[in-house]
Amino acid sequence: MDRVDLVFKWFTAAGSTAAAYFFGGWSGVLGVLLVFVILDYITGCAAAGATVGLKSKVGMIGIARKVFIFAMVAVGHLVDGVLGDSHLFRDTVAFFYIANELLSIIENGGRLGAPIPPVIRQAVEVLKGKGGSNNDKGADM
């Protein structure tokens, strides 16, 4: 039992060190992003299961996209480190992905048949139209 405890402590220390280096510590913004990423993946899996069926390849691509989100946040923090000691770029990137994940969660809810108020549905359509390109098709997962 002591070895399991020791391994857990080492993994916790390594994870904390990595979070501090790559993200500048953990903040509320990163916590919200993590929750939205998890909710989006879960609702995306549920929507896919309810409509077209689950596919492991699509799920793995979804996980890779979620890892990429946090890689971009880390890049934003590294840019902040070069320009000064603020969290301007890190938080900007995180806010962008929070908004993107929120839109995806709402779309997944609609695919699951959840009632979406017309005002929110219209806002989603407007925001999707202002994106310019549809490079992130299938970003529900």
Q: Tell me: the pLDDT tens digits for 25-55?
A: 888 999 999 999 999 999 999 998 888 877 8
Cβ-based neighbour number of residue 42 at 10 Å: 13
134: pLDDT strictly greater than 80: no
Residue closest to 44 by CA, chosen among 30, 59, 64, 31: 59
Alpha carbons 85 and 93: distance in angstroms, whole number: 16
Residue 92, in any domain of the structure:
yes
Instruction: State the total domains in the chain.
Output: 1
pLDDT in the model for residue 79: 93
pLDDT, tens only, 69-126: 999 999 999 999 898 878 899 999 999 999 999 989 998 998 888 888 888 888 877 7
Q: What's this model's pTM, rounded to 2 decimal places?
A: 0.77
Residue 114, in any domain of the structure:
yes
Which of 95 and 24 is assigned the larger pLDDT?
A: 95
Residue 86, in any domain of the structure:
yes
Alpha carbons 11 and 16: distance in angstroms, whole number: 8
Residue 3, in any domain of the structure:
no
Residue 122, in any domain of the structure:
yes
Residue 94, in any domain of the structure:
yes
Residue 123, in any domain of the structure:
yes
Alpha carbons 36 and 42: distance in angstroms, whole number: 10
pLDDT in the model for residue 141: 42
Residue 34, in any domain of the structure:
yes
19 dihedral zone (left: phi>0; alpha: psi -120 to 50; beta): alpha
Alpha carbons 17 and 91: distance in angstroms, whole number: 19
The alpha-helical segments, DSSP class H, found in the chain are 2-23, 28-51, 56-83, 88-111, 118-129
pLDDT band for 129, please (50, 70, 90 cuts): confident
Mean pLDDT throughout 10-25? 88
Let me know: does 58 contact 138? Beta carbons within 8 Å. Answer: yes
pLDDT band for 140, please (50, 70, 90 cuts): very low
Range of the domain at 42: 26-129
User: Hey, is 87 helix, strand or coil?
Assistant: coil
